[in-house]
Homo-oligomer: A and B are copies of this chain.
Amino acid sequence: MKPQTLPDFDAVLAAAARIAPHARLTPVLHDESLDARTGARLYFKAEHLQRGGAFKFRGACNAVRALPDAIAARGVLTHSSGNHGAALALAAAGRGIPAHVVVPEGAVRAKLELIAQAGATVHRCAPTLAAREDACLRLQAELGATLIHPYENPQVIAGQGTAALELLHATPDLDALIVPVGGGGLAAGSALTLAARAPRCELILAEPTGADDTARSLRGAARVTVFTPQTICDGLRAGIGAPNFEILLAARAAAITVSDAETQAAMRLLWQHLKQTVEPSGATVLAAVLQQPARFAGRSVGLILSGGNVDLDAIAFCARCGTT
């Protein structure tokens, strides 16, 4: 664990200005039938409609655009199971610099395609954190490219905080904001924004029970780093980052853990009622509301739909063969 400078809300505001010409101002969606079902007023920030199909473009774009020209010219590098890789590839292409993405075997095909389409060089490795980090170190040494960490990089965290900033502009009176947590880039960025702009708004992290290191870390006030993720939420398998945890602990964020079955049921509702193809990781936020209706009844709740890059072949609701 390297020491990192923690970003602050000024960094989020700087990110908002920096990425505005490149990122999409995504819509906030609302559906009466989901409100009726939950008893809450739900405002969905549609980050699956962001460039690259996930909020990740915000952080990647901010990090890439913040690099000095001479450093940027040597390119950027990351390891990612998908959405951050695709986001970095898009951001680098937008600045006209090379991108290298280390991708573990078993990544979601739709995400790999996005990375390749954006013109990045894909480097495959074994699906372990050690293999990813080794590959990154080797490429850094070879190429002189700048590593943009998927969630610990301060510019990435600041960039992710712009999603909550936009959501608060659209719906200022939120009682709670629910975001998915994996490595914690979106979670920490959202915490910075809430502290400055909506200090009374509760921050809740939706986390798969099969990768509940953040919930356990918050409970013990100490970062859990050893665990083996077991979840269909491919975007949430990373362990919580060190600066991310520090920010979330200070923000007194709460966590709700949801089972994969709860996530799938929520995803199905989002597809059916919101008519949005949201990926499993993004559906955890609705799963959290459905699990604890009394907690959210009568309240205005923001939910960040983090991404929509699904393998339609793999994720299907197939009555014929029982696949869910």
Residues of chain A touching chain B, judged by Cβ–Cβ distance below 8 Å, are 27, 33, 48-49, 53, 110, 117, 268, 271-272, 275-278, 308, 310, 312-314, 316-321, 323
Name 28 interchain pairs, CB-CB below 8 A, sorted by A.
Answer: A27-B27, A33-B117, A48-B275, A49-B275, A268-B312, A271-B277, A271-B312, A272-B310, A275-B276, A275-B277, A275-B278, A275-B308, A277-B277, A312-B317, A313-B317, A313-B318, A316-B316, A316-B317, A316-B319, A316-B320, A316-B323, A318-B318, A318-B320, A318-B321, A318-B323, A320-B321, A321-B321, A321-B323
With a cutoff of 8 Å between Cβ atoms, the chain B residues found around residue A110 in the complex are 272
Q: Nearest chain B CB to A310's CB is how many angstroms away?
A: 8
With a cutoff of 8 Å between Cβ atoms, the chain B residues found around residue A271 in the complex are 277, 312
With a cutoff of 8 Å between Cβ atoms, the chain B residues found around residue A272 in the complex are 110, 277, 310, 312
With a cutoff of 8 Å between Cβ atoms, the chain B residues found around residue A277 in the complex are 271-272, 275-277
With a cutoff of 8 Å between Cβ atoms, the chain B residues found around residue A117 in the complex are 33
CA distance A268 to B310 in the complex (A): 11
Nearest neighbor of A29 in chain B, beta-carbon distance: B49
Query: Main secondary structure on chain A at its contact with chain B?
Result: loop
CA distance A272 to B109 in the complex (A): 12
CA distance A33 to B48 in the complex (A): 15
Extra 8 A-B pairs, beta carbons < 8 Å, given A110-B272, A268-B312, A276-B277: A33-B117, A271-B277, A272-B310, A277-B277, A313-B319, A316-B320, A318-B318, A321-B321
Nearest neighbor of A279 in chain B, beta-carbon distance: B275
CA distance A53 to B276 in the complex (A): 12
With a cutoff of 8 Å between Cβ atoms, the chain B residues found around residue A312 in the complex are 268, 271-272, 317
A-B interface, 4 closest residue pairs, ranked by CB to CB distance from nearest: A321-B321, A316-B316, A318-B318, A313-B319
Nearest neighbor of A53 in chain B, beta-carbon distance: B275
With a cutoff of 8 Å between Cβ atoms, the chain B residues found around residue A33 in the complex are 117
CA distance A318 to B314 in the complex (A): 7
Nearest neighbor of A307 in chain B, beta-carbon distance: B275
With a cutoff of 8 Å between Cβ atoms, the chain B residues found around residue A48 in the complex are 275
Q: Nearest chain B CB to A138's CB is how many angstroms away?
A: 32
CA distance A27 to B53 in the complex (A): 18
CA distance A314 to B320 in the complex (A): 8
Name A318's contact: one of B53, B275, B308, B316 (CB within 8 Å). B316
With a cutoff of 8 Å between Cβ atoms, the chain B residues found around residue A318 in the complex are 313, 316, 318, 320-321, 323
Nearest neighbor of A32 in chain B, beta-carbon distance: B51
CA distance A117 to B32 in the complex (A): 12
CA distance A318 to B323 in the complex (A): 8
With a cutoff of 8 Å between Cβ atoms, the chain B residues found around residue A314 in the complex are 319
Q: Nearest chain B CB to A37's CB is how many angstroms away?
A: 11
Nearest neighbor of A46 in chain B, beta-carbon distance: B275
- Of the listed residues A313, A316, A321, A323, the one surrounded by the most CB atoms of chain B closer than 10 A to its CB is A316
Q: Nearest chain B CB to A124's CB is how many angstroms away?
A: 21
CA distance A158 to B164 in the complex (A): 41
Q: Nearest chain B CB to A115's CB is how many angstroms away?
A: 14
CA distance A313 to B268 in the complex (A): 10
